[in-house]
Amino acid sequence: MGNIVELRKISKSFPGVKALDQVSFTLKAGEVLGLLGENGAGKSTLMKILSGVYTKDEGSMQILGKEVDHLTPLTAQKMGIAIINQELNLCDHLTVAQNIFLGRELLRNGTLNERKMNGEARKLLERFQIDIDPETPVGNLSVSKKQLVEIAKALSIEAKILIMDEPTSALTAKEIDNLFAIIKRLRAQGCGIVYISHRLEELQHIVDRVMILRDGKYITDMPFQETTLSEIIAYMVGREIKEKFPRVEAAVGEKIFEVKNLNAGRMVRNISFSLRKGEIVGIAGLMGAGRTETTRAIFGADPKESGQIFIDGEEVKINRPIDAIKAGLVLVPEDRGKDGLCTKLSVKDNIALPNLDILASKLGLVNRKQETELTETAVRNFEIKVADPETPADSLSGGNQQKVIVSKWLARNSRVVIFDEPTRGIDVASKVEIYNIMNDLKQKGIGVLFVSSELPEILGISDRILVMADGRITKELDVREATQDLILKYATQFEKKL
């Protein structure tokens, strides 16, 4: 079969970075192409050019046999290109159906045909077994539901070219299986699909061919059958990664952190657990199990109803984040864009922000020399790729942004560090770096609480695993006895609804 997309020598720069450098790319009808690469390799940028979001600096494009010079999101859509973007792009105030048909509203006599749109949306959602009422406002949905809406929206176009940029980052296992079934069906219909993911385990289920980018350059492409995961990783990283889940041993000591009977709303119910010196405790669970809410409540970001928190055996009162930080408890939040970074501020400002209590005198005067030292040390220690700490944080790639967030918390001496999904959307090499950071903390005797939806990493890194469902801890497992199946069993142990 012929190529339906041919991009030749595409280049694209952003201030300070060459995101794409002479990249060529092809896609055939009826194939699923895995587009792979580290954070900042240029995958999203390439696909945004193909879908008309960005304009290329150089190069030429042939799409469905036509030479195309200038694309907008609208013309791309009209040509049959659908994209599920890495970031959620939905209007919270509009309903699911209104979002799905946004820009392509169905009309009757020139006016909106809401009934038809609702009906079509319902059919679409049913066809893909997505359990959402098309008339609910999107703002009321959870992140995973939103991602499903995003997928449904892309599928509602009779697309000939479908781009999925990390579609599964917020999905549950069942929803992912569902998605794979959809992908296979579309492939059979002759649709060309580009699939981007950092969850390399997923590839085997669907991908026909892989293409690898590194630092904005084309590296290679080959049929998936003819390669192995470790070879792919080596191409991505430019070197071999020995261990995907490096594990270090440390002697387990006394209790450093304990939560007793914590309650905070519907999703945090009677949570009790403890952390010991020299161990990483993982929290597993399905999307919406209440893990994020638990960490936020502990950290004082959300109000608590009841419960006690102990650090080194002493009870601490945490009503707001600053109390937690002062008590030696810090949280690396889940949502990088929303909760993690002040994107307009510099890397330096971001790293300094939670440490100003140390950097400022009693009267509040900031010691700028100390501030510079602290940030430069952090940038060095965490190998953050940034030319100058005064650069605005939003010009960094995802992985580097995550490192900024981690580093700002570790620049101070804390007793307990909570990581909420620290590896989401991060490439393999960066993941390993994050694991190493956690291991390092563990060896230093600092308590690490590690929330993740990816079972392999939970199993690979933690020493003890708490499983949550419906806002409760349903099981505590030692890593030696834990298996994926066992965790899933407890993660689906829902309460009987009255």
Partner 1 sequence: MGNEKKQSKLKRIVAKRGMGQVITVTFGLVGLIIVFSFLNPFFLTSRNISNLLRQIAPTLLTGIGQSFVLITGNIDLSIGSVVGMSCMISATLMTKGVVPWVAVLITYLASLLMGLLNGKLISKAKLPAFIATLGTMTIARGIAQIVNNNYNTDSIGEAAEGFQQFFYYGKTLGLYNTIWITLVIWLIFNFLLSRTRTGRHLYAVGSNLHAAHLSGVNISSTITKAYLVSAFCATTVGLITTATSGMGTMDAGNGYELYAVAASVIGGVSTLGGQGILLGTVVGASIWGVLQNGLQFAGAPVAIRNIVIGIIVIITVLMDIFVRSNKRIGKAKTSADGNSSPALKHKL
Ligand X SMILES: Nc1ncnc2c1ncn2[C@@H]1O[C@H](COP(=O)(O)OP(=O)(O)OP(=O)(O)O)[C@@H](O)[C@H]1O
Tokens 């080194």 correspond to 312
Contact between 294 and Mg ion by CB under 5 A: the answer reads no
Cα–Cα distance for residue pair 361/267, rounded to 1 Å: 40
Binding segment for Mg ion among 44-52, 155-163, 278-286, 471-479 (CB under 5 A)? 44-52
Q: Does residue 371 contact residue 352 with C-beta atoms inside 8 Å?
A: yes
What does 146 bind: partner 1, ligand X, Mg ion, none (CB cut-off 5 to 8 Å by kind)? none
Cα–Cα distance for residue pair 317/297, rounded to 1 Å: 12
> Min. distance of Cβ 68 from partner 1 in angstroms?
14
367, burial (CB in 10 Å: exposed 0-12, middle 13-18, buried 19+): middle
- The DSSP 8-state label assigned to residue 412 in this structure reads S
> Measured between alpha carbons, how far is residue 496 from residues 176, 271, 375, 466 in Å?
25, 19, 50, 21
Q: Which residues pair with 194 in a beta bridge?
A: 33, 163
Q: Which residues pair with 81 in a beta bridge?
A: 161
Contact between 144 and Mg ion by CB under 5 A: the answer reads no
Contact between 42 and ligand X by CB under 6 A: the answer reads yes
Q: Which of 64, 219, 287, 345 binds ligand X (CB under 6 A)?
A: 287
What does 37 bind: Mg ion, partner 1, ligand X, none (CB cut-off 5 to 8 Å by kind)? ligand X
Handedness of CA 341, 458, 461, 240 (dihedral sign): negative
- Is the Cβ of residue 26 or residue 292 nearer to partner 1 in the bound state? 292
Contact between 292 and Mg ion by CB under 5 A: the answer reads yes
- Is the Cβ of residue 251 or residue 322 nearer to partner 1 in the bound state? 322
Q: Which of 398, 404, 415, 473 binds ligand X (CB under 6 A)?
A: 398
x-marked contacts with ligand X along 58-97 as a string, rule CB under 6 A: ----------------------------x-----------
Q: Which of 94, 143, 358, 488 binds ligand X (CB under 6 A)?
A: 143
Q: Which of 26, 51, 85, 86 binds Mg ion (CB under 5 A)?
A: 86
Cα–Cα distance for residue pair 309/323, rounded to 1 Å: 12
Binding segment for Mg ion among 80-88, 173-181, 256-264, 386-394 (CB under 5 A)? 80-88
Contact between 41 and ligand X by CB under 6 A: the answer reads yes
What does 253 bind: ligand X, partner 1, Mg ion, none (CB cut-off 5 to 8 Å by kind)? none
Contact between 39 and ligand X by CB under 6 A: the answer reads yes
The tokens describing 93, both together, are 């105030």
270 Rama class: left (phi>0) / alpha (psi -120 to 50) / beta: left
Torsion of CA 284, 285, 287, 291, to 10 degrees: -70
Cα–Cα distance for residue pair 308/190, rounded to 1 Å: 58
- Is the Cβ of residue 40 or residue 52 nearer to ligand X in the bound state? 40
Cα–Cα distance for residue pair 199/205, rounded to 1 Å: 12
The tokens describing 272, both together, are 């009790």
Q: How many residues line the site for ligand X (CB under 6 A)?
A: 31
What does 42 bind: partner 1, ligand X, Mg ion, none (CB cut-off 5 to 8 Å by kind)? ligand X
Centre a 10 Å sphere on the Cβ of residue 288 and count the other Cβ atoms it contains: 19
Binding segment for ligand X among 33-41, 173-181, 243-251, 482-490 (CB under 6 A)? 33-41
Residues that bind ligand X (CB under 6 A): 14, 17, 19, 37, 39-45, 86, 142-143, 267, 285, 287-293, 334, 395-399, 427, 453
